[in-house]
Amino acid sequence: MRSFAFWSLVVALLTYMTLPTIVVLMTSVNPTEILAFPPQGISFDWYAKAVTYPDFQVAFRNGLIVTACASTLALIVGSAFAWLIHHYEFRGRGLLEGVLWSPLIIPHFTLGFGFLLLGGAFRMQQGYVMIVLAHMVLVMPFVTRAVHVSLANIDPALARAAANLGASPFQVLTRITLPLVVPGMAGGWLIAAVLSLTEFTASLYVTGSRTQTLPVAMYNYIREYADPTVSAVSALLIIATTLIMLVADRTIGLRRVLAIDTH
Amino acid sequence: MLARRPFFITFLAPAVLTAVILAAAIFEVLQYSVREFIPGSLNVGGFTLANFAALNKPIYWWVLADTFFISLLTAIFSLLASYPVAYALVRAKKDWVRSALVSLSITPLFTGEIVRTFSWMLTLGTDGFINSMLRKLGLIDMPIQLMYTRFGVVVALVQFSMPVMIILLATAIAHVDRDCEKAAANLGASPTAVFWRITLPLTVPGILSGIVVVFAWTMSAFSTPQLIGGGKILMISNLAYLQGFSVLNLPFAATLSLIALICALGSLALMKGVTSRIERRLAVN
Q: Which of B6, B111, B241 sits opposite A241 (nearest CB)?
A: B111
What are the pLDDT digits (tens) for B181-240? 999 999 999 989 999 999 999 999 899 989 998 998 999 899 999 999 988 999 999 999
Least Cα separation, residue B30 to chain A (angstroms)? 9
> Dihedrals φ, ψ of B45, to 5°?
-90, -150
Mutate to test the interface with A, among B122, B224, B261 (most CBs of A within 10 A): B122
Mutate to test the interface with A, among B31, B105, B114, B178 (most CBs of A within 10 A): B114
Task: Note whether residue A128 is domain-resident.
Answer: yes
What are the pLDDT digits (tens) for A91-115? 999 999 999 999 998 999 999 999 9
Predicted structure pTM score: 0.92
CATH number for the domain harbouring residue A112: 1.10.3720.10
How much of chain A is in helix, strand and coil states, percent to nearest 5? 80, 0, 20
Task: Note whether residue A54 is domain-resident.
Answer: no
User: Regarding predicted confidence, which is higher, B179 or B41?
Assistant: B179
Helices (H), strands (E): how many in chain A? 13, 0
Contact between residue A213 and residue B217 where contact means Cβ atoms under 8 Å apart: no
Task: Note whether residue A63 is domain-resident.
Answer: no
- Given pLDDT bands bounded at 50, 70 and 90, which one contains residue B145? very high
Q: How many domains does one find in chain A?
A: 1
Task: Note whether residue A225 is domain-resident.
Answer: yes
**Please, what are the domains in chain B?**
29-34+42-49+58-284 (1.10.3720.10)
Least Cα separation, residue B222 to chain A (angstroms)? 7
- Given pLDDT bands bounded at 50, 70 and 90, which one contains residue A260? low
Give which of A202, A189, A191 is closest to A132, Cα–Cα: A202
Residues A101, B126: Cα–Cα separation, whole Å = 41
Whether residue A222 and residue B127 make contact (CB cut-off 8 A), yes or no, is no
Q: Which residues pair with B37 in a beta bridge?
A: B44
pLDDT score for B285? 54
Cβ-based burial of A49 (10 A; exposed 0-12, middle 13-18, buried ≥19): middle
Contact between residue B215 and residue B71 where contact means Cβ atoms under 8 Å apart: yes
* Three-state SS at B135: helix
How far CA B240 is from CA of A138, A205, A252, B55, B257, in Å, comes to: 20, 11, 40, 12, 6
Count Cβ atoms below 10 Å from residue A5 Cβ, excluding itself.
9
For the cut 90, the answer to whether the pLDDT of residue A136 exceeds it is yes
Q: State which residue of chain A sits closest to B177, comparing Cα positions.
A: A263
The stretch A118-143 carries a mean pLDDT of 94
Residues B41, A120: Cα–Cα separation, whole Å = 14
Q: In chain A, pLDDT over 70 holds for what percent of residues?
A: 93
Mutate to test the interface with B, among A60, A110, A118 (most CBs of B within 10 A): A110
The stretch A139-159 carries a mean pLDDT of 92
Whole-number average pLDDT of chain B: 90
For the cut 90, the answer to whether the pLDDT of residue A42 exceeds it is no
C-alpha angle B63-B65-B66 in degrees, rounded to nearest 5: 65
- Mean pLDDT lowest for which of A7-21, B238-252, B270-284? B270-284
pLDDT score for B107? 79
What are the pLDDT digits (tens) for B1-20? 445 788 999 999 999 999 99
pLDDT score for B205? 86
For the cut 80, the answer to whether the pLDDT of residue B278 exceeds it is no
How large is the angle between the packed helices B8-33 and A128-152, nearest 10 degrees? Answer: 130
Residues A10, A25: Cα–Cα separation, whole Å = 23
Cis peptide bond upstream of B6, omega within 30: no
Count Cβ atoms below 10 Å from residue A172 Cβ, excluding itself.
18
Q: In chain B, pLDDT over 90 holds for what percent of residues?
A: 64
Question: Domain span at residue A147?
Answer: 68-257
CB under 8 A, 24+ apart: contacts of B147-150? B147/B121, B147/B228, B147/B230, B148/B228, B148/B229, B148/B230, B148/B231, B148/B232, B148/B233, B149/B232, B149/B233, B150/B66, B150/B70, B150/B233
